[in-house]
Amino acid sequence: MGAAQDSAVTVARGSASGVCARATWKRYTEDTPGVPGTHDTADRFGESLSAADITGDGIDDLAVGLPGRELGQDDDAGAVDILRGSRAGLTDEGAQSFTQDTAGVPGAAEAHDAFGPAVELLDINGNGYADLAAAAVGEDGNGAVWELPGRPTGIVTDAALVFGPKAVGAPYAGAAFGSELGWPALQKNLRGIPARLSIPSLLDRRTGERPERSRPRPTEESPCPATCPS
């Protein structure tokens, strides 16, 4: 659960019998060990959240949007953090942080781009690793969406892709393109991308059908405990 006004995220532990007692929940901010950055309510850490298995270990990881992250002075350039999951919950190891100034990410961070107000982790190419889709609704005044691939090492920037409303033939002036993400919205948008802007994983998605996974899921026991921690 995100509380953007406090730049905080709360994880409510679950069990086979349901959500655990509030005393077992854990709150995360940019001051939590292992979380990139320094706590600042202007960052709006947690304005958008998405959980899925990026590394293929059978445990969900968490993408956190920070559209107010300042890279200059009061610039709202924005960022997206990736927090790794473990069987004990989110771990303080292996966290990642992405902005438009990150090596391999298309574009450049600019004032009021607001990168990260909407994020989605989903396996775009059906290879068993969740990829990151992230929006910057202020990009060039119209908005754009980035896709960064997921791998066993985490989110990577090779084969990264960005597209805006013009690429899908949509009205673009002040569109805040990408303000809504999720499979239905992405499916609609990806169908309109010209082939010259696409990568093979996106071509599979134009059919509206989920391709078969090329790598089987881990078969070990569920990370969800039978009972809540005491």
Residue 215 pLDDT exceeds 90: no
Q: How many domains does the chain have?
A: 1
Residue 164 lies in a domain: yes
pLDDT tens for each residue of 86-131: 988 899 999 999 999 999 999 999 999 999 999 999 999 899 999 9
Residue 59 lies in a domain: yes
Q: What proportion of the chain, given as a percentage, has pLDDT over 90?
A: 53
CATH number at residue 133: 2.130.10.130
For residue 87, give its domain range: 2-205
Question: What are the start-end ranges of the E strands in the chain?
Answer: 2-3, 8-11, 14-15, 18-19, 26-28, 48-52, 61-66, 79-83, 85-86, 89-90, 96-98, 115-122, 131-136, 144-148, 150-151, 154-155, 161-163
pLDDT tens for each residue of 164-202: 988 888 877 888 888 888 655 555 555 444 443 333 333
Higher local confidence (pLDDT), 202 or 220 = 220
pLDDT tens for each residue of 48-73: 999 999 999 999 999 999 999 988 76
What is the average per-residue pLDDT within 155-172? 90
d(CA 110, CA 159): 22
Q: What is the DSSP letter of 23?
A: G
Residue type, 145: V
Residue 50 lies in a domain: yes
pLDDT-based confidence at 223, cuts 50/70/90? low
Residue 103 has what pLDDT?
96
